[in-house]
Amino acid sequence: MIIGVIGLGTVGFGTVDILTKEKERLEKTIGEEVVVKYGCALEDVNLPDGIIYTQDYHEVINDEDVDVVVELIGGTTIAKKIILDALNKKKHVVTANKALIAHDAKELFTAARENGVNLYYEASVGGGIPVVVPAKEDLVANNINKIEGILNGTTNFILTLMERDNLDFEEALKIAQNLGYVEANAALDLDGYDAAHKIYILTMNAFSTFFDFDKIKCTGIRNVTKKDMDYAKKLGYRIKLIAMSKKLENGLGIDVSPTLVPMSEIVGNVMDAYNVVEITCDYLENVLFYGKGAGRYVTASAVVADIIKTAKKDVWTHDYDYTENVYPITSSKYYVRSEQPLNLNYDEYYSFGEDHIYITDKVELKDLEDALKDTSATYFKVRS
């Protein structure tokens, strides 16, 4: 197995390091030699002896000896060209590029199928947590009904700091940025798009369906305040950025939004930069995947697993239908905070100083917004 790694940032370098350190053991696992022939990046990197450094990705793709191209530069422009060119050269591709898959899945997997090669992407969801392969292969006996989870470690870290260290949002965000947790484009984390990319991938496989990413409704954590987190905790909840999808009679329901999750549940106790994915299906019922969602070696471990998986030679099909019918999930219980009493149907009501807090009955968001249209109020979903 001859490998070319394109992109030698945090994850790329980690991938080369693991492949080098674990070379002998990996070779025993698949019964063939594992050789990293190329490391490609614009910046000079101190690679292990024997690996060719290049700044030209064409050199990697055009080398007939290369079996597997690993794309780790990210983005949706040049990365797409690299992947398509590699697939059309009949090379297996491994990527962690969640945004590209979420936006161009049908085109990419069609190219892989037509060329009889694989495009693997375990590292695109949950860092090193093995969830993509188990959900696609090991749950094959089941019909998946619903997927829920914390899919963005950065926002979970920020929310943890707000609760644990008594910080407001801006203070917690600054700490996360200083630690390098926040994407260069902070909106990917803070406005829910990163989590949306990941729930797209899980949904695509769970329901064997391609759809337009832009139909996913995202609400991020910018409006989560320390006050609301404190009130939620008093009521037995924590606020988490929850990504959810489920099969509807007429299509797919998908949502990414801050949600009050009971502290009595495992998902409500996932803290710091950890991720969790909960899959509900008919025979296995509920299964959870939990672990670190990012990091050099955390993510690289998933990349290496996919590289080794290409040795099996069987093609992973994505012969999926396409649907236009993608809808936000708007029917829910809601947490509502207002400085004046409200005329709402509710399960719970509390008064804390000047604030009136409601946990509503299950209601459509539009009906709730109509009831609140003349009132200043803060509201979030409640998982029940």
Active-site hit among 91, 98, 198, 309: 198
The whole-angstrom separation of Cα 314 and Cα 323 is 27
**Residue 322 token pair:** 């396409």
Q: Who contacts 170 (Cβ-Cβ below 8 Å, separation ≥6)?
A: none
Residue 286 and residue 254: Cα distance in Å, rounded?
19
Q: Report DSSP state, residue 344.
A: -
How far is it, in rounded angstroms, from Cα 144 to Cα 132?
13
Report the distance separating Cα 274 and Cα 290, nearest Å. Answer: 7
Cβ–Cβ under 8 Å, residues 237 and 350: no
Q: Please say if 373 is a catalytic residue.
A: no
Q: Which of 366, 350, 358 is nearest to 382 (CA)?
A: 358
Rounded to 5°, angle at Cα 158 from 216 and 95: 55
Residue type (1 letter), 307: I
CA angle, residues 248, 249, 252, in degrees to nearest 5: 30
- Write out the catalytic residue numbers: 198
